[in-house]
Chains A and B, each alone.
Chain A
Amino acid sequence: MIGTTIFKIGEEVGNIGQFGRFVWRSAVTGMQSIAKSDTYPLIWAQMLAIGVRSVPVIMITGAFVGMTLAIQAYDQLAGMGLEEHLGVLINISVVKELGPVLAAVMLAGRVGGALTAELGTMKVTEQIDAIESMGTDPVKYLVAPRVLACLLLTPVLIVYADLLGIIGGWFISVIHLHINARAYWSFSAYGVDLWDVACGIIKGFFFGGAMAIISCYKGFNCKEGARGVGQACTDAFVISFISILVLDFAMVVIFKSLYSIFWPLRSLVG
């Protein structure tokens, strides 16, 4: 019993070490890939698959987040006679929290799952071994372009989610609930800073990077057979999802501290 527990702890520590090495290798080869133009075609191809093809689903996610927030918050604010402040609530929630987090979760499902399944299948059919046997680093050829594409395009996709969230909120608030448009936008402009938008976009880099690296790692280390690939996809999504939530919490704390340092007076008022 004790022996088994010690063995399992040892195994987990080993796995963490292995993951750490994988992250380091990916980071180093990613940097090298940026410096070498011959890897750009691989990065463009991944950008198309990961970024461009995710735009519709991200836009739909953003739009529904904005619309739902408008419907949910209207009654509470209208009850206090503050319905013209609806824009602040919707837009700050969308650009700071819900847009980035829900876009990242959607990407973890759509892109992360596909990355793990693709790399996992390559692993069990010895395609990754084949790349290695031909003197090519599989991390450089397979992982670096995917991580770079996710890292660069997740913030861009978050901008799309924010944009559609804002439009969705406006559509329900102004067109459907007949809130004064001028007041709606004036309060929004007053309440939402460039800092808030930047916070959401910066989160995108970390969410995209974490999701890509976890998905690639799970694909590279998946067990034999269809069951192994399926399990790797499930693990990749669950771990990516939890990582997004943990990173979000950590970044909220960091950004709040930074805000207090740069704008101490406004943070007290806010």
Chain B
Amino acid sequence: MNTEQQTTNNEQQSVKPDDGLIVLKNLTRRFGNNVVLDDISLAIEKGKTTVVIGPSGCGKSVLLKHMIVLMRPTLGEVYFKNKRIDNLDDQLLTGVRAHFGYLFQAGALFDSLSVAENIMFPVRQHCQITRFSAVEELVRNKLKMVGLDGLQRFYPANLSGGQRKRVALARAIALDPEVILYDEPTTGLDPIRADTINELILKLKGELGVTSVAVTHDMKSAYKIADRIVMLHHGKIIADGNADYIRNHPDPIVQQFIKGEISKKELEQLHKASVGSSVRLPCDVED
């Protein structure tokens, strides 16, 4: 463990299975010798939006995947509605996962299906379809919500990155889930589209009372949508509170992250590297 880790404060709290809608209890996840999540305990409150922030590679997406048991913990427990779910077999998990919507970082749309078929996918899997026109109406409604009505026949390959993300969001809300998990919802979008996604998240919370967990390093988005912000660093929770608490947090690591500033030490290393790069290789590049 390095010095930086030793000096960071740990805002980890002990939790009980009934403390929230989703509860992670003493969760540890290792990949080989690499400890990505280190004894994390976190309770997600019903009807609230929790935002998980942290530098790239700190285990935010891994944490999100454990909430829906797309990954199983090395140690620890995961609870949904006071029921342990990390030890359920895949068939039993199917029923649990129907309560969730998941927006993947790159959308994860099925490229062999059209936009309409992508949104219909969870409906076809979980609902008895008696009238196809009702499903078409549902698809139109969901696409209207994300501002993409009319693109039903398009394929993901024909859409821009932002459009793909919004179609993925329409698919995630197709079954009106109780919980929506957002993995980097605004990454790769222009500021206006990013704000559209933020407004959509707020709308879903306001109109449907959806419980949301978003993983992001977009602080503007985090401040806008979050009821609670949790910061991960080296696999541990180092800050946990509302937007004002995080803004005024005393930990320099938290301050550095939320302000998006490079540390003095890293800046010095960067300058040294640029000055010291005296090696010239014979390259075939014309002036």
Contacts and interface: CB of A to CB of B under 8 A. Distances in A.
**A in complex with B:** yes
Interface of A: 25, 122, 125-127, 129-130, 132-137
Nearest to A126: B108
A126 B91 contact: no
B105 interface: yes
Given A126-B104, A126-B108, A127-B110, A133 B70 contact: yes
A130 B183 CA distance: 12
B146 interface: no
A132 B98 contact: no
B108 A130 contact: yes
Contacts of A137: 90-91, 94
B110 A130 contact: yes
A193 B171 CA distance: 57
9 contacts: A25-B90, A125-B106, A126-B105, A129-B102, A130-B104, A130-B109, A130-B110, A133-B104, A136-B94
Interface in B230-270: none
A203 to B, nearest CB: 32
B193 interface: no
A134 B122 CA distance: 6
B125 A134 contact: yes
Contacts of B102: 129-130, 133-134
Interface string B116-158: 0000011001100000000000000000000000000000000
A17 B125 CA distance: 30
Interface of B: 65, 68, 70, 90-91, 93-98, 100, 102, 104-106, 108-111, 121-122, 125-126, 171
Contacts of A129: 65, 70, 102, 104, 108
B188 to A, nearest CB: 14
A130 to B, nearest CB: 4
Nearest to A128: B108
B264 to A, nearest CB: 34
A129 B69 CA distance: 10
A136 B95 CA distance: 9
Contacts of B110: 122, 127, 130
Contacts of B100: 133, 135
Give the most central of A127, A134, A136: most B CB within 10 Å: A134
B22 to A, nearest CB: 14
Nearest to A127: B108
A261 B122 CA distance: 54
Contacts of A135: 93-98, 100, 122, 125-126
Contacts of B98: 134-135
A126 B64 CA distance: 14
A21 B178 CA distance: 32
A130 B171 CA distance: 10
B108 A134 contact: no
B68 A133 contact: yes
B106 A126 contact: yes
Contacts of B91: 137
Nearest to B71: A129
A134 B119 CA distance: 11
A136 B121 CA distance: 10
Contacts of A25: 90
Given A126-B104, A126-B105, A127-B108, A134 B121 contact: yes
Contacts of B68: 133
A122 B122 CA distance: 17
User: Most A CB atoms within 10 A — which of B100, B125, B126?
Assistant: B125
Contacts of A134: 97-98, 102, 121-122, 125, 171
Contacts of A133: 68, 70, 97, 100, 102, 104
A196 to B, nearest CB: 41
A132 B89 CA distance: 12
A134 B90 CA distance: 12
Contacts of B121: 134, 136
B71 to A, nearest CB: 9
Given A127-B110, A130-B110, A136 B125 contact: yes
Nearest to B105: A126
B65 to A, nearest CB: 7
A129 B70 CA distance: 7
Give the 7 A-B residue pairs with the shortest CB-CB distance, closest first.
A135-B98, A133-B102, A135-B97, A130-B108, A126-B108, A134-B122, A135-B94
Contacts of A126: 104-106, 108
Nearest to B95: A135
Contacts of A125: 106, 108, 111
A134 B68 CA distance: 10
Nearest to A118: B112
A135 B70 CA distance: 11
A199 B142 CA distance: 55
A24 B125 CA distance: 23
A134 B111 CA distance: 16
A130 B104 CA distance: 8
